[in-house]
Amino acid sequence: MPLKKILSFISLGIFLAAIITIILSFKGGSRVKKSDVDAIIGKGMSHKIYDENNHLTAEITSSSTQRDYDETRSLAKIERTLLTDIKAVIYKHGEFESDVKFSGGSGYVENGYNDFLIKDKARIESDEALFLSEKFFMEGSAMISNDESTEFVLKNIKGNAEKGLNYILKYRVLDLFKASGIFVRAGKNYNFSCNKLMILKKLNRIVFRGKSLIKDADSSMKGKEIILRFNDDFNQVKRVDILGKGHLFYKGKDGKESREISGKVIAGFFNDTGDIKEIKVSKKGIVNLYSNGNRIIAVSKLIYISFNPQTNKLSSVKLLRSGTIESKGKRPFIISSEKITIDYDKNEEIEKCITHGDTKFKTEGYNGSCNILEYFPEKSFMILKGEKSVLEKGVNRFVSPEFLVNTKEEKFSSDKEIRSTIQLESDNSIFSKLPVYVSSKKIEIDDKSGSVVYSTNVSLFQGDTKLNAEKVEIGENKSINISGKAKLNFTNNEKGISISGEEIKIDPDKNFLYIKGKGVLSEGDNSLSGESLVVEFNDNKKISRVTGEDKIEFKRKGISGKSEKVIWKFNEQIITFITNAQLIKADSGSSKGDEIKFYIEDEKVVIRSVDGKRSETKID
pLDDT, tens digit, 9 for 90 and up, residues 569-608: 998 999 999 999 999 887 777 788 889 999 988 888 888 8
Longest dimension (CA), the chain: 162
Query: What is the rounded CA–CA span in Å between residue 217 and residue 507?
Result: 68
Residue 323 placed within a domain: no
Q: Which residue has the higher pLDDT, 439 or 236?
A: 439
> Which range marks the domain in which residue 186 is found?
1-210
Q: Which residue has the higher pLDDT, 615 or 423?
A: 423
pLDDT band at 616 (very low <50, low <70, confident <90, very high): low
The amino acid occupying position 66 is: Q
pLDDT band at 96 (very low <50, low <70, confident <90, very high): low
Query: What is the rounded CA–CA span in Å between residue 191 and residue 198?
Result: 16
How confident is the model over 468-476, as a mean pLDDT?
Answer: 91
Chain-centre distance for alpha carbon 590: 79
The pLDDT score that the predictor gives to residue 20 is 46
The pLDDT score that the predictor gives to residue 349 is 86
Closest CA to 171 of 136, 213, 200, 149: 200
Q: Report strand pairing: 276-291 vs 495-507.
A: unpaired
Residue 12 placed within a domain: yes
Q: Which residue has the higher pLDDT, 6 or 559?
A: 559
Handedness of CA 42, 48, 51, 54 (dihedral sign): negative
Contact between 610 and 620 under an 8 Å Cβ cutoff? The reply is no
Indicate the DSSP class of residue 7: P
Taking all residues of the chain, what is their mean pLDDT, rounded to a whole number?
A: 85
Phi, psi of 327 (to 5 degrees): -115, 130
R_g (Cα) of the chain, nearest Å: 47
How confident is the model over 173-186, as a mean pLDDT?
Answer: 86
Closest CA to 325 of 339, 314, 312, 315: 339
Q: What is the pLDDT of residues 411-432, one digit of tens each?
A: 899 998 999 998 877 677 888 8
Contact between 49 and 31 under an 8 Å Cβ cutoff? The reply is yes
How confident is the model over 157-183, as a mean pLDDT?
Answer: 90
Q: What is the pLDDT of residues 300-353, one digit of tens each?
A: 999 999 998 888 889 999 999 999 999 988 888 899 999 999 999 888 888 999
Answer whether residue 489 shows pLDDT above 70: yes
Residues 6+ apart with CB under 8 A from 129: 10, 12, 14, 15, 152, 153, 154, 155
Q: How far is CA 75 from CA 37, 110, 334, in A?
A: 20, 10, 73
DSSP codes of every residue in 239-261: EEEEEEEEEEEEE-TTSSEEEEE
Q: What is the pLDDT of residues 100-134, one digit of tens each?
A: 888 999 998 888 777 889 999 999 888 878 999 99
Residue 152 placed within a domain: yes
Closest CA to 524 of 542, 492, 497: 497
Residue 448 placed within a domain: no
Answer whether residue 69 shows pLDDT above 60: yes
Q: How far is CA 455 from CA 118, 323, 439, 473, 574, in A?
A: 94, 37, 9, 8, 38
The pLDDT score that the predictor gives to residue 318 is 97
Q: For residue 165, give the CATH number of its domain.
A: 2.60.450.10
Residue 452 placed within a domain: no
- List, in sequence order, every beta strand (DSSP E) within 320-435: 323-328, 333-337, 339-344, 350-363, 366-376, 381-393, 396-406, 411-414, 418-422
Phi, psi of 13 (to 5 degrees): -60, -40
Residue 164 placed within a domain: yes
Q: How far is CA 97 from CA 18, 56, 103, 192, 291, in A?
A: 11, 15, 20, 28, 46
The pLDDT score that the predictor gives to residue 587 is 73
Indicate the DSSP class of residue 14: H
Residue 304 placed within a domain: no
Structurally, how many domains does the chain consist of?
A: 1
Supply angle C-alpha 469, 464, 496, rounded to 5.
90
Answer whether residue 552 shows pLDDT above 50: yes
Query: What is the rounded CA–CA span in Å between residue 162 and residue 151?
Result: 8
Residues 6+ apart with CB under 8 A from 479: 428, 505, 506, 507, 508, 509
N-to-C CA span, the chain? 100
Element (H, E) at 304: strand 294-307
The pLDDT score that the predictor gives to residue 11 is 35
Query: What is the rounded CA–CA span in Å between residue 103 and residue 105?
Result: 7
b/e per residue 428-442 (b: at least 16 CB within 10 A):
bbbbeeeebebbbbb
Q: How far is CA 126 from CA 99, 117, 119, 525, 558, in A?
A: 6, 19, 18, 114, 122
The amino acid occupying position 420 is: S
Q: What is the pLDDT of residues 70-88, one digit of tens each?
A: 888 888 788 888 889 999 8
Residue 276 placed within a domain: no
Element (H, E) at 200: strand 188-200
